[in-house]
Amino acid sequence: MSVWLSQHGDAFRTAVRRLAASPVNTLLSLLAIGVALALPAGGQMLVANALQLARNSAPTPQISLFLQLDADKRAGQEIQARLKDHPGVKVFRFIPRDEALTRMKSREGLADVIEALPRNPFPDAITVLPEDDRPEAMEKLAAEFRKLPKVEQVQLDSDWARRLAALLKIGRTGVVLLALLLGVGLVAITFNTIRLQVMTRRAEIELSRLLGATDAFIRRPFHYFGILLGLAGGIVAWLIVAAATWWLAAPIGELAQLYSLDFALRPLAALDSVLLLIAAAGLGWLGASLSLRQHLTDG
């Protein structure tokens, strides 16, 4: 066990030494990997933020019913009675047209406009919180409400949220696609770096074999080399994304304020960061393995 540990320790130190031995090459590789990984990582950061924004500003999904302007009190009560017994309705709230008017008057800038109107332009309205808030169920419920007498319009508040969700799905797919493509790029970078390493260390590898080194012993430092390169590249990517987040935070905050949104750009989530580093290290290892299989078979 201690032999195993010390051999891995040796291999690790050897890998670090080899990375440090050619600082310019190492730095260039790290930058290439970092930039490549920063794209999907940054994309993920943006998508996560957009999701957060959607979640924050979308209230619990509800259905709004607007009655016809000429609907009288009785018609309103009839509809309320039906909603009360409806199994698909969790809660509902009746908003009389007078209440809507007072509420709108209290809004800055609107009071004058409304004052100028000859009569109350608002209909009676009912907001319904459904029992089942899945989109299909809500769609069905809305269709049912549309058939009620004296109902002018039924509006699904989840519509825009669904459009946003669909957009975000595309964004997320884009991130995955980017991650796959640039992951392949990372594998290619480590593959080539390890190939060069094997070439420059041919004498050492050959000698080690002659002195009784197992394949595992010879491969081990290269595996660590690949893992370290990937991991360090992942850290560079993380730093790039963090810097971008920091840079974007102020202008986006300003924009959010203009739209009166309670929103601040968040950095890459902890879980995503850990995933990024693990994926980077794993891809580095993969590139090294493939390269070794290709270039270390003889002897």
Partner 1 sequence: MIRFDHASKRYPPGMNALADVSFEVDAGELVTVGGHSGAGKSTLLKLIAAIERPTGGAVLVHGQNVGSLKRSAIPYLRRNLGVVFQDQKLLFDRNAFENVMLPLTISGFPPVEARRRVQAALDKVGLLERQKAMPIMLSGGEQQRLAIARAVVGRPNLLLADEPTAHLDADTATDVARIFRDFQAVGVTVLIATYDNSLFPTARRLVLDHGRLQ
18 or 195: CB nearest partner 1: 18
> In angstroms, what is the minimal distance from the CB of 25 to partner 1?
16
Q: Applying CB under 8 A, does 275 fall inside the site for partner 1?
A: no
207 or 239: CB nearest partner 1: 207
Q: Applying CB under 8 A, does 25 fall inside the site for partner 1?
A: no
Q: Applying CB under 8 A, does 297 fall inside the site for partner 1?
A: no
Rounded Cα–Cα distance for residues 139 and 135 (Å): 6
20 or 210: CB nearest partner 1: 210
Q: Applying CB under 8 A, does 173 fall inside the site for partner 1?
A: no
7 or 77: CB nearest partner 1: 7
Among 28, 170, 180, 207, binds partner 1 (CB under 8 A): 207
> In angstroms, what is the minimal distance from the CB of 204 to partner 1?
6
Among 110, 173, 204, 251, binds partner 1 (CB under 8 A): 204
> In angstroms, what is the minimal distance from the CB of 212 to partner 1?
4
Among 1, 24, 116, 211, binds partner 1 (CB under 8 A): 211
Residues 5-24 that bind partner 1 (CB under 8 A): 6-7, 10
Query: What would the x/- binding string for partner 1 be over residues 233 to 252, using CB under 8 A?
Result: --------------------
Q: Return residues touching partner 1 (CB under 8 A).
A: 2-4, 6-7, 10, 203-204, 206-215, 217
